[in-house]
């Protein structure tokens, strides 16, 4: 049997990179995207060593035309053309996203708000819409939500709003795609140590490190295994929503930290 194809956004680091490696090990072929091409190529080469066929394309998901062109390019490289009786895209991991800044909304910066809303909400929509024509009954979409899409916390305002939008869109997409047999899942992690906080705090490594000090956070591999679980359910099963937290984090507001 030929290996199924999955497209992963945000594959240059964190959850996306770990998911690419996990799925390559499990027999998937990969289409990888993000903005940093050299990082994508490095991930792709490791996945190829694991036996996967891999194609990469770098673009900024905030650009709708680039997203459309990027998806068409990747589908053509992989020979994915279900409308012509060809193979289909069996998985989409809509993972790229970011937080930028943390503080009261009335001190928020326009550029930070634009980056979060344009990437986490509109970018996710652009990619999903571009990929659906290449999916068929049995294909699955996995949207990367967050505990920030279930609860809000101090200083999280716009990031939380963007992830609440992902929560709403995941439910709406599930409704819109049910008659086509395409399953839509959402994974909502709590605190996970990736490049997320380095991006949020704009390269302030001390601030980023402090987020994860005093407890055992999730690591990218924890989420990669959840992505793999969701994608590998039998055709009649759809995991609608999965909230995954570090054991030390009981909610967005309750993090048990032990001073070192």
Active site positions, annotated = 159
Closest to 144 measured CA to CA, from 157, 162, 126: 162
Choose one: 49-57, 72-80, 125-133, 142-150; the region binding ligand 8X3 (CB under 6 A). 142-150
By CB under 6 A, tell whether 56 contacts ligand 8X3. no
- Of the residues 18, 40, 92, 191, which one makes contact with ligand 8X3 according to CB under 6 A: 191
In the complex, least distance from residue 215 CB atom to ligand NDP, rounded to whole angstroms: 13
Interface positions, 176-235, toward ligand NDP (CB under 6 A) = 189, 191-192, 194-196, 199
Q: Tell me if 71 sits within 8 A of 130, measured CB to CB.
A: yes
Residue with tokens 């991006």: 199
Q: Which residues pair with 183 in a beta bridge?
A: 140
Q: Tell me if 57 sits within 8 A of 70, measured CB to CB.
A: yes
- Strand ranges, E, within 24-152: 29-34, 54-58, 89-94, 140-144
By CB under 6 A, tell whether 13 contacts ligand 8X3. no
Q: Tell me if 125 sits within 8 A of 83, measured CB to CB.
A: no
In the complex, least distance from residue 258 CB atom to ligand 8X3, rounded to whole angstroms: 19
In the complex, least distance from residue 63 CB atom to ligand NDP, rounded to whole angstroms: 8
13 vs 88, beta carbon nearer ligand NDP: 13
Choose one: 29-37, 66-74, 146-154, 168-176; the region binding ligand 8X3 (CB under 6 A). 146-154
Choose one: 43-51, 75-83, 96-104, 134-142; the region binding ligand NDP (CB under 6 A). 96-104
Of how many residues is the chain composed?
A: 260
Phi, psi of 109 (to 5 degrees): -105, 135
Grouping H, G, I as helix, E, B as strand and the rest as coil, residue 34 is strand
Grouping H, G, I as helix, E, B as strand and the rest as coil, residue 210 is helix
Q: Tell me if 134 sits within 8 A of 123, measured CB to CB.
A: no
Choose one: 28-36, 45-53, 226-234, 252-260; the region binding ligand NDP (CB under 6 A). 28-36
Select from ligand NDP, ligand 8X3, none the partner in contact with residue 95, using the beta carbon and a kind-dependent cut-off of 5 to 8 Å: ligand NDP
By CB under 6 A, tell whether 170 contacts ligand NDP. no
Per-residue binding string, ligand 8X3, 150-189, x by CB under 6 A, is ------x---------------------------------
b (16+ CB within 10 A) / e for 134-149? bbbeebbbbbbbbbbb
Calpha distance 151→190 (Å, rounded): 11
101 vs 190, beta carbon nearer ligand 8X3: 190
Closest to 90 measured CA to CA, from 26, 144, 29: 29
4 vs 14, beta carbon nearer ligand NDP: 14
Select from ligand NDP, ligand 8X3, none the partner in contact with residue 77, using the beta carbon and a kind-dependent cut-off of 5 to 8 Å: none
């Amino acid at each position: 049997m030929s290996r199924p194809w999955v497209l992963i956004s945000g594959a240059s680091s964190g959850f996306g990179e770990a998911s690419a490696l996990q799925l390559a090990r499990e027999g998937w072929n990969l289409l990888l995207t993000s903005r940093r091409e050299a990082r994508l190529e490095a991930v792709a080469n490791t996945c190829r060593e694991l036996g996967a066929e891999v194609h990469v394309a770098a673009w900024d998901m905030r650009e709708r035309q680039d997203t459309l062109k990027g998806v068409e390019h990747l589908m053509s490289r992989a020979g994915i053309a279900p409308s012509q009786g060809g193979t289909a895209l069996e998985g989409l991991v809509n993972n790229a996203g970011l937080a930028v800044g943390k503080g009261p909304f009335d001190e928020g910066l326009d550029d930070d708000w634009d980056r979060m809303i344009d990437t986490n909400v509109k970018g996710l929509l652009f990619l999903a819409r571009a990929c659906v024509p290449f999916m068929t009954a049995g294909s699955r979409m996995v949207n990367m939500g967050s505990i920030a899409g279930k609860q809000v916390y101090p200083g999280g305002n716009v990031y939380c709003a963007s992830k609440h939008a992902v929560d709403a869109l995941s439910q709406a997409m599930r409704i819109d795609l049910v008659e086509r047999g395409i399953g839509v899942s959402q994974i909502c992690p709590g605190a996970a140590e990736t490049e997320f906080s380095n991006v949020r705090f704009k390269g302030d490594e001390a601030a980023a490190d402090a987020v994860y000090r005093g407890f055992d956070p999730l690591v990218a591999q924890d989420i990669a295994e959840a992505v793999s679980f969701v994608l590998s359910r039998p055709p009649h099963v759809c995991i609608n929503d999965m909230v995954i937290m570090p054991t030390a984090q009981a909610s967005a507001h309750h993090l048990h930290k032990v001073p070192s």
